Amino acid sequence: MSSERQDEIQWLLQEHGNLTVTELAKRFNVSEMTIRRDLKNLAALGLIQREHGRAIYPPVLPTEILMMSMGEAEREKSRIGHLAATLITEGDSVILDAGTTTLGVAQALTTKCTVITNSIPIAGVLGNRNEITVLLTGGEVQGKNFALVGPLTRSVLKGFNADKLFLGATGVAIERGLSTANMLESEVKQEMLKVAKEVILVAHSAKIGQIYFHTFARWDSIQTLVTDSGLEEEIRDKLNSMGVKVLLA
């Protein structure tokens, strides 16, 4: 199947940094055209970088921002956002992680509260709602998804105490917990987990079952998952048995 090969290409690239189309075609015993199509898909998702004749890792950034404008997933993410936003009570201090699903939470937010975020788009959305105080963490600006990362971000987060954390993830899996392709983002998420009393994972069901390069959280640190109705029964049951409350939008 093409998606398995594409996963494998990612791993190979992480190892070798830089592989040609010809090399990959030989490796998988498929035509170069097929490899090109794989690389095009991966590049469209922002998971690799493309050059003439070759593929490069690391990617500039995950293109989650692009998915926001891709239509169908947008609707579900918006629903997830609305449901998640109801979990906030007036006066809460809330951390909103960077990501398109958490951006959905920001857009749905009407409760008077304080928001701490490392996402420039979220700060943009909430910036002029005068009932909401928005604190943007400092940090290095990551192109494409406009998240703030790095040591400054982490040290700023250390200074806060939050009632609730709305956390995003690139990959969500029963056995491997929450993962992402970007180490810098992982580190920031881990800092967020440390300073939040309650953790709510918001994730589109398509992300469930995916595993990326770095696991930043195990299930025991997550209290609630808000996702859409695409979630399989079996997984839902497993999560419940692990003590994770599951809400479907």
Stretch (H or E) spanning 33: helix 32-44
Number of Cβ within 10 Å of residue 127's Cβ equals 12
Partner whose footprint covers residue 146, from a copy of itself, DNA, none (CB < 5 to 8 Å by kind): a copy of itself
By residue count, the chain amounts to 249
Dihedral pair phi/psi, residue 138, rounded to 5°: -75, 180
Partner whose footprint covers residue 137, from DNA, a copy of itself, none (CB < 5 to 8 Å by kind): a copy of itself
Interface with a copy of itself includes 213 (CB under 8 A)? no
Report the C-alpha gap between 43 and 55 in whole angstroms: 9
Partner whose footprint covers residue 46, from DNA, a copy of itself, none (CB < 5 to 8 Å by kind): a copy of itself
Residue 93 and residue 113 in contact, taking contact as beta carbons nearer than 8 Å: yes
Residue 77 and residue 203 in contact, taking contact as beta carbons nearer than 8 Å: no
Interface with a copy of itself includes 241 (CB under 8 A)? no
Interface with a copy of itself includes 71 (CB under 8 A)? no
Report the C-alpha gap between 118 and 111 in whole angstroms: 20
DSSP secondary structure code for residue 87 in this structure: T
Q: Rounded to the nearest whole angstrom, what is the least distance from the CB of residue 144 to a copy of itself in the complex? A: 6
Q: Rounded to the nearest whole angstrom, what is the least distance from the CB of residue 53 to DNA in the complex? A: 3
Smaller CB separation from a copy of itself, 128 or 241: 128
Binding site for DNA (CB under 7 A): 1-3, 5, 20-22, 29-34, 36-38, 40, 50-54
Partner whose footprint covers residue 1, from DNA, a copy of itself, none (CB < 5 to 8 Å by kind): DNA
Smaller CB separation from a copy of itself, 40 or 218: 40
Residue 80 and residue 202 in contact, taking contact as beta carbons nearer than 8 Å: yes
46 alpha-carbon distance from chain centroid: 13
CA-to-CA dists, residue 58 to 15, 22, 38, 61, angstroms: 10, 20, 16, 8
Spatial CA neighbour of 36 closest among 70, 64, 2: 2
Interface with a copy of itself includes 36 (CB under 8 A)? no
Smaller CB separation from a copy of itself, 3 or 128: 128
Specify the stretch interacting with a copy of itself by CB under 8 A; choose among 85-93, 148-156, 164-172, 212-220.
148-156
Touching a copy of itself, residues 109-138 (CB under 8 A): 120-121, 123-130, 133-138
Q: Which residues contact a copy of itself by CB under 8 A?
A: 46, 59-60, 62-66, 120-121, 123-130, 133-144, 146, 148, 152, 156, 159
